[in-house]
Amino acid sequence: MKIIFPYSDHVATLDNVEFKQGEAVKHGEPLIVPEHPWEGMLTYLYGSVVKTTLYRMWYQAHGVYVAYARSRDGIQWEKPLFDGLAVEHPRVGPTVESADGAELCANPAPQRSLKSNVVLDFHMPTVIEDPADRARPYKLFGYTDRGYGAAFSQDGVHFKSAEGNPVIPLLKFPAQINRKTWYSDVAPVFTDTRTGKFVSHVKTYACDEAGRIRRCVGRSESDDFIHWTEPATIWTPDAEDDRLARERGFQWADFYGLCGFNYGEGYLGLLWLFFIDYEIERGTHEGKIEVFLADSADGKNWKRWSDVPLIPLSSTGWDTGMITTASQPLFLDDAIRLYYGGANFSHGVGEAGNDYDAQHHRFCIGLATLRRDGFVYAWATHGRLATTSMESKKGRLKINADCTAGKIIVEIVQADRKVKSFTLAGIDDTEHTLDMAVKGRVVLDITLESARLYSVEVV
């Protein structure tokens, strides 16, 4: 039984122990950059990365295409040109509509006829790998001009749109202080392993007390990827989010998207927090986007973990303006990978009067990593953590910890009696193994002294 933080049913008591956010490390230059005509200046996540025999990525190209890339190591990527690009003037669908009915930000693309790595003309795609479904193991959920659509594939490359599309009709939200209408678009999906349902965190909108339109997190779920519940708003930005925006020199903050996932006995999420400067008269908002860690015990009641971003904007370089992430982290044996899209321009670029700089503006895809089990760790200057009774079949412990500046004392308790004690000091290891030589039901009594504990597993 493995304990990871912050949610575990096997943590019985905590005394002077804090849970803190782990550190994600960016890996230098981008892995994927725009290079083909259908990519324009934009290759970004919105999208998904999964690992089968290969690393496989479905990313957004030029804002209107779902493009495909593959890799043996997740670092060096290739874009196989396997499909003819025959879509004429594909449409994302509106983001916001003006009072005269003109659609803004629809972003039509020019006609092309050439080999490409494009698999679909959806927007903001999530791809779910579902090996149990042999007929359609790859399920894609994305945005179209009619609402949210589903598509299915046997090989992850050749997708067929669901006959019942849209599976969620286009969602419209009128503003109060002007005659604009806003449309829901971002909607990352994950498979909730606790409930067995597919869950989409659909972007919704609400008007605040000042009448401003605010991006919120909604929720819809499905048993079969086709029939979805009506999206309901579950999380709205509050005064603390606006405070953080003002401290960074902006006016307010919205929730641009939430990529939720199971983690331990609860849920974590990658929150795309949109720091807004102002609303563009005939368009969307000007501002920047950073990624923050969010958490929830039940998957419905969420909170932002920290004022410190998990994946911050860089001060210089290719990811200074906006950051968005793949729909899910990639959990490997030795690390957690966070593939992300980074732009060197702000959100309002591309609007009328603020055109893209074709020579310099780029949206690229890069990588940040956390250590294994590294989203949240337990820390104390001097504190204690005790577990519930757990079954040890092999009589071993595996500890992921950093106690280079302190120590960790692990006491093994069986039948209310201390039977073993271990002291760890001067180590930083993701899998430090201890031979307890004790099998059966045990309780762990762990003392932390200026040390970080990321996980502990009884085997």
**Distance of CA 129 to CAs 107, 170, 235, Å?**
29, 25, 27
Q: What is the pTM of this model?
A: 0.93
Question: For residue 239, what is the enclosing H or E element?
Answer: helix 239-247
Q: What is the pLDDT of residues 224-233, one digit of tens each?
A: 999 999 999 9
Cα distance between residue 184 and residue 187, in whole Å: 8
Residue partners of 197: CB distance under 8 A and separation at least 6: 191, 221, 222, 223
**How far is residue 166's CA from residue 303's CA, in Å, rounded to a whole number?**
31
Residue 92 in contact with residue 143, Cβ under 8 Å?
yes
Provide the Cα torsion 123, 129, 133, 137; round to 10°.
60
For residue range 375-423, list pLDDT tens digits in order: 999 999 999 999 999 999 999 999 999 999 999 999 999 999 999 999 9
Residue 100, pLDDT above cutoff 70: no
Across 142-151, 305-314, 349-358, 382-391, least confident range: 349-358
What is the b/e burial string over 278-313, where b = at least 16 CB atoms within 10 angstroms of the residue's CB?
ebbeebbbbbbbbbbbbbbeebeebebbeeebbbeb
Task: Tabulate helix, strand, coil % of the chain (nearest 5).
Answer: 5, 55, 45
Domain annotation for the chain: domains and CATH numbers: 2-21+377-458 (2.60.120.430), 25-373 (2.115.10.20)
Burial class (CB in 10 A: 0-12, 13-18, 19+), 169: exposed
User: What's the pLDDT at 88?
Assistant: 52
Whole-number pLDDT of residue 352: 75
Write out the DSSP string of 122-189. Answer: -EEEEEEE-TT-SS--EEEEEEETTEEEEEEESSSSSEEE-TT--SEEPPEEE-SSSS-EEE-----E
Residue 4 pLDDT: 98
Q: In Å, how far are 50, 74, 318, 341, 365 from 28, measured between CA atoms?
A: 21, 14, 10, 13, 11
Q: Is the pLDDT of residue 54 over 60?
A: yes
SS3 of 415, please? coil
Q: In terms of DSSP bridges, do strands 103-104 and 390-392 run parallel, antiparallel, or are they unpaired?
A: unpaired
